[in-house]
Amino acid sequence: MSIKLVWFSMLLKIVQAGEPVLRATASALPQEKIALAQTQVVIDWMRETMRDAPGVGLAAPQVGISLQLAVIEDRPEYLRDLPSEVLADRERSPVDFHALINPRIVERSEEQVEYYEGCLSLAGFSALVKRSRAVTVEYLDERGAEHRVEARGWYARILQHEIDHLNGKLYIDRMEPRSFTNLENMGRHWKNMTIPAVRRALRLPES
């Protein structure tokens, strides 16, 4: 009789705003613990949870784990139905899956850009958020190797969003409060408007 080993992936519960873990500064993950089986399993489970949501990023605090760990992936199929002008405006292109361990932003551009942003821990809502157009981030990957990435556009936004999570921040801390909306009204009223048009409609000063 042969015995087959079966790998079971697990979807983790994504905690919602109000959970204390989302407001704590996550602990650094020691480099010697990155290769441990339990760490690798958590990374795998976070990847599957992010894809199932679906989302483009997930930080460990969002699944109740207070560690400096996040996963990111902007899959080609997420971009397929977006108009080319939207992709160009947002400087958005596919990003391969990768884990970031103990990441830190070492450089930020002075130029900021503003778009609607959502979060898996604030399910069903969105708001305008200004972030640096470009950032440089240093981090360890899932094998413990050191990386330094210079990102701009939508990838830079994802990095900033996930690193905020590791420092106890949510996008609502940075949002334009008058723009806060549920996704139903986002699709009904704001989705196809330019950001300057949204600001005019909300009677906000020009950014």
Which residues are tagged catalytic? 162
Q: Is residue 57 exposed (0-12), middle (13-18) or buried (19+ Cβ within 10 Å)?
A: buried
Where do the H-state alpha helices sit in 34-149? 37-52, 76-79, 84-90
Residue 157 near residue 117, CB atoms below 8 Å? yes
Would you give the DSSP letter of residue 16? -
C-alpha to C-alpha distance for 45 and 58, rounded to whole angstroms: 11
Largest Cα–Cα separation, the chain: 73
C-alpha to C-alpha distance for 119 and 83, rounded to whole angstroms: 22
